[in-house]
Each structure stands twice: as C-alpha cells, then as structure tokens.
Structure 1
Amino acid sequence: MITYNFQLHVVSVEKKLFDGIINKIQVMGVEGEMGIYPGHSPFITFIKPGILKISKLCNSEEYMYLSGGILEVQPNIVIILADMAIRAEDLDEKKAQESKRLAEEKIKNMTSRGVDYIKISTEISKAIAQLRLIELLKK
C-alpha cells in the first residue's frame, strides 16, 4: 500500500513543537541536506544545526531552527529529538546577529585551533542557520 503522508513529531528538551500528519520534510543531516518523503527507508542519524522545512497536507509550509539532535525515520512516522528547536517566527534576529559577531570575534582572537575553535565554529554555524531562516521568512 502506497502512503502519501506520514506522522511527524518534533520534540526538544523543553517541549513538543510539532505533532501532525505531513507530506515531507527537509532537514540538515550529518551527510548534508536530506529530504524525507512517505515510504522512506527506516534509519537513525544525527542532525546538524539548520533549518527544518515541514511540508503540510494543506500545501503550506512551516519552518523551525534546529540546533542539532537525532532523526529517526520509521515506515509511517518520523521523530526528531532536537537539542533545541525554535519556530521560525520566534527567532530573534538581533540576538542571532550578536551571537555570530561574538563568535567571529573569538575566532579572530584565538592563538591556536583546538577544541575551542570547533566549539566557536559551531556557534557561528548555529547563528548563520538562524539568520538564513529569518531571511527566508522575510521573502
């Protein structure tokens, strides 16, 4: 039997952000951007900071920022356990710009590129993903 939709649950440490029947999602996995459609093969993977695009049944879309987490795909259900998830309309552009600026400043002042460099690079990636989502909503 062919299905044309599936159940999606998006849960962060703080709360459940989405629970509904959808057509597809796009999310940033560790290997790159992934599209999950009905009938996708089951798997589990880590997700990177980025944008979650949810295509709903009524041909509308919803966007969220995910700071990372785990994606589990089963035959008729997809679960995202996010470290942090923020609905696009709840993002704060000034806060994201300031986070990016501070992280870039830290990198400029570094004397070596060890664990701190990786941590700061992750902070920049998170801020950039938030700013991309804010720009996307403005269009």
Structure 2
Amino acid sequence: MATLKVGLVSPEREIWSGEAKLVVAQTIEGQLGIMPGHAPVLGVLLDGSVVKIEPADGGEPVSAMVGSGFFSIAGDEVSVLAEQAELGSEIDVELARQELQNVLSAGDDTTAERRARARLRAAGADA
C-alpha cells in the first residue's frame, strides 16, 4: 500500500512526522484531502483550522490546530509548515474553553476566536 511521508512543523518544534494514508487540511480556498499519488500542490493554510492525519500503521488519527502557514505536496511527501501548531492530545480542554470565553468577551479579534475554536476542535471538544 502506498503511503505519504508527512511532516507537521512549527517554528518551535516538529509536531508530528511519519507515514500516513490520508491528510486533510483546510486552505484559504477550501478543504483538501491528500492521499498517495496526489498532484503537486503548494497551498496556504487557513489560520485557525485543524489538520487531520490518518497514520499508515492504523494508529489513532492525529488532529492538530494550526495557525497561518503553508503546505506542500511533492511526490508522496506532505510538508505542513505552520506559524503556530498544537496537537489535539496536548490541549487542556478546560483551559481552551476559558481562553475562548476570554476572546469572546473581548469582542473583536476574529483570528484569536478562530484559533481558540480550532484548539477545541483539535482536542475533540465542542467549540
């Protein structure tokens, strides 16, 4: 079975890397599903979205909140380069809910609200 070689990185660290059978990313033009054999693409990530990865080994799906950034597909290699990224499994849901409430109370920063909601979605909680 063909697989993708995936790397999800932020300036702070490598968030996830490995072999995958599917990657789903939200771009500024819409959602994109990437499977082995996909045509080459360079895209812009939607700030405050979730990247989902299905590992090739059948392990638990990976969800990560991403801030602005880019992704590229070349051959069967997918690189996701995010300004900010956080694995859903590392997110404190209660703290993320509180941060969303703080952003909503402040009123006008839609980027902060999108990121706060994406953190909750990546963690598997309702936003």
Could you say which TM-score interval applies, normalised by the shorter chain?
0.7 to 0.9
Structure 1's unaligned 5+ residue stretches are: 108-116
Shift of 1:10: 1.0
Within 5 A, what are the aligned runs for 1:12-51? 12-48=10-46, 49-51=48-50
Identify which of 109, 118, 122 aligns with 1:129: 118
Name the % identity. Answer: 21
Partner of 1:70: 70
Deviations, residues 86-131 of structure 1 (Å, cap 9, x unaligned) = 1111112222222211221222xxxxxxxxx4xx011111111111
Shift of 1:135: 2.9
* Greater C-alpha Rg: 1
Structure 2's unaligned 5+ residue stretches are: none
Partner of 1:91: 91
For residues 15 and 123 of structure 1, the distance between their equivalents in structure 2, rounded to whole angstroms, comes to 21
Q: For residue 124 of structure 2, what is the amino acid of its counterpart?
A: E
What is the TM-score normalised by the length of structure 2? 0.87
Maintained 8 Å contact 1:99/1:123 = no
Maintained 8 Å contact 1:6/1:22 = yes
Runs of 4+ in 1 over 3 A off after TM superposition: none
